[in-house]
Amino acid sequence: MKGHAHPRPNGVTRAEGAVRTNGAHRGNGAGRPERPVLQRPARIAGPAAIVSRFGRTLGKRFSRNNLPLLGQVHAAHSALRRSRAAIRGRGANIFTQWVGDPDALGSAVLLKAILEELGAKEVRILTGSLAHPQNRNLVAKCGIVLHDPNTGRLPRGLNCMVDTSPPLGTANTGRVVPVSEYFFVADHHADPDDVERNTREKGVRRVKLAFVGLPVGSTSAFMAALAMAFDVFESVGPQGRAAAALGIYTDTSALLHGSTPLDFRMFEKLTRDPATQDLLDELRDYRVPPEWFEYRNVAFSNMEVTGTVRVAPVGYVRDEHRDVIAEIANDLLRIEGTSIGIAVAVTQLGTEVSVRADSRLLGEDQPRIVRVIDHLLSYAFPGVSGFKYERVPPHRVEGGACVPHSRVQEHMWSVAATGPGQDKDVLEHCRAAARALVAALADLKFARPDEIEGLL
């Protein structure tokens, strides 16, 4: 209607966005408004245009029932098509987290195909390491070529990010040399306001096409819908489709947690042909090294239990085994009567903690589990790396933190353990960190007893 503001992503109207973005930077009515770093869609296409674009491939009823999210896919498709001249003949860098996971890698494969369809001369996927055996299996079987995020990037390429948000050089991209401008970003983890603040603080000039805080269970689902709009499903072949399907599968815990209608629909579309189905089965059936079970034995042997909270010191974990820390946290949460599972380890990066929580034992106020985890990590580990959590019960939380080594620790622990749990000094350090987390619980119980109810 003529008198109404056009809707924006995340339910913010153009008028509201203008007030929040422009008004916050005006001083006593003077000066020009400061332009946002994140250039998000100013307006979303109407229902008719969205259904016309996606009705044939996703179904008209599905398209009508998912207009807000498909509106963002439509906006991304239109913006990339308008940018064809800027893409043609150029190189492009696609950054993932430093440690690539299936959702990031699957999303990157699809974005690479889209940019090449639009005329990009060369596209490189930039990932620092592959800690998890499943990630290594994915890269090997799907033929994904990875480059170092620092030495392997194209100097004048368009900088893109998937499944993580700017700025580079922080949180899960801590080892990556930052850049000042980004072309395209798609991420379902970060809050747009947080990204806007962080990029501004780090001197980022612009994110031209920003699709941050996507309301989906996996970035791969969003990118798959976008790839379908560009008609590149066939060109990526069974390997590309299986990579994206695995991204959806892993980030939604086999489509059981945090999955949306788009995750289900795109997983089904990606896995229709037998070749993709067979390859996906191979990707899901991965093997782990024997050391993983040794790490688990150390963790459970030293586990501390306080109420429904379990904290497990792991000791020193080699860089190629880092993902076992999160696996141990997942295992802790599977124990009956557990609300929070925390694994603490020392790695090449520093002292790392991985947190998994499920607030079903907390009664009606399930979102407070996020506040509890925030307090624990802030109390025991300065520098929280972030959370992702569902908006509906069971309010599951995933988070973590990493405290870099001191120079003495870095030298001492880089040559420390020859096997899981063998270096007693490192293990004692992890035990001390576990005790600090327990102390944080006690502190919260004293300061805000209502927050801790049901946990102790």
Q: What ranges do the domains of the chain cover? A: 1-32, 36-284, 291-452
pLDDT of amino acid 32: 60
Query: Mean pLDDT across the chain, nearest whole number?
Result: 86
pLDDT at 412: 66
- Mean pLDDT over 244-268 rounds to 94
* In the predicted structure, residue 16 carries a pLDDT above the cut 50: no
* pLDDT value of position 2: 36
Strand partners, 342: 311, 355
Number of alpha carbons in the 13 Å side-chain half-sphere of residue 24? 12
Predicted pLDDT at 351: 87
Please, which residues bridge with residue 184 across strands?
Answer: 160, 209
pLDDT at 253: 85
Q: Which fold has domain 36-284?
A: inorganic pyrophosphatase (n-terminal core) (3.90.1640)
CA distance 418 to 113: 42
Preceding peptide of 394 cis, ω within 30° = yes
What per-residue confidence (pLDDT) applies to 26?
44
How confident is the model over 254-280, as a mean pLDDT? 95
Using only C-alpha atoms, the chain has a radius of gyration, in whole angstroms, of 23
How far, in Å, CA of 413 to CA of 319, rounded? 12
Give the residue among 180, 184, 186, 185 at the shortest CA–CA distance from 202: 180
Q: Is 257 in contact with 396 (CB distance < 8 Å)?
A: yes
Contact 222, 211 (CB under 8 A): yes
**pLDDT attached to residue 368:** 76
Residue 18 has pLDDT above 50, yes or no: no
Percent of the chain with pLDDT over 90: 58
The Cβ of residue 409 has, within 10 Å, a number of other Cβ atoms equal to 18
What pLDDT does 74 receive? 97
Least confident of 37-46, 150-159, 189-198, 446-455: 446-455
Q: Which of 395, 319, 339 is nearest to 364 (CA)?
A: 395
Question: Which of 20-29, 50-59, 75-84, 232-241 comes out lowest in average pLDDT?
Answer: 20-29
User: Which DSSP symbol is given to 121?
Assistant: S
Average pLDDT over every residue of 370-398: 65
Which of the residue ranges 17-26, 297-306, 343-352 would you say has the lowest mean pLDDT? Answer: 17-26
Task: Quickly list DSSP for 335-358.
Answer: STT-SEEEEEEE-SSEEEEEEEEE
**Cβ contacts of 414-420, under 8 Å, gap ≥ 24:** 414/348, 416/316, 416/346, 417/315, 417/316, 419/291, 419/294, 420/291, 420/294, 420/295, 420/297, 420/298, 420/314, 420/315, 420/316, 420/317
Q: Hey, what are 20's tokens?
A: 């929040």
Q: Are 109 and 244 in contact (CB under 8 A)?
A: yes
pLDDT band at 312 (very low <50, low <70, confident <90, very high): very high
pLDDT class for 446, splitting at 50, 70, 90?
Answer: confident
Residue 317 burial by CB count (10 A; 0-12/13-18/19+): exposed, middle or buried? buried
Residue 219, Cβ density class (10 Å: 0-12 exposed, 13-18 middle, ≥19 buried): buried
Q: Which residue(s) pair with 122 in the sheet?
A: 91
pLDDT tens-place string over residues 427-443: 998 998 888 888 888 88
Q: Kindly give, in sequence order, each residue whose CB lies less than 8 Å from that of residue 95, ignoring residues fewer than 6 positions away.
A: 126, 149, 159, 160, 161, 162, 164, 168, 173, 176
Q: What is the pLDDT of residues 95-131, one digit of tens each?
A: 999 989 999 999 999 999 999 999 999 999 999 998 7
Angstrom distance (rounded) from CA 405 to CA 288? 28
**Average pLDDT, integer, range 231-253:** 96
pTM attached to this predicted model: 0.80
User: What is the distance between the terminal CA atoms of the chain, rounded to a whole angstrom?
Assistant: 54
- Mean pLDDT for 66-84 is 97
Q: What are phi and psi of 14, to 5 degrees?
A: -60, -40
Check whether 450 has a pLDDT greater than 60: yes
165-213 pLDDT, tens per residue? 999 998 788 889 999 999 999 999 888 999 999 999 999 999 999 999 9
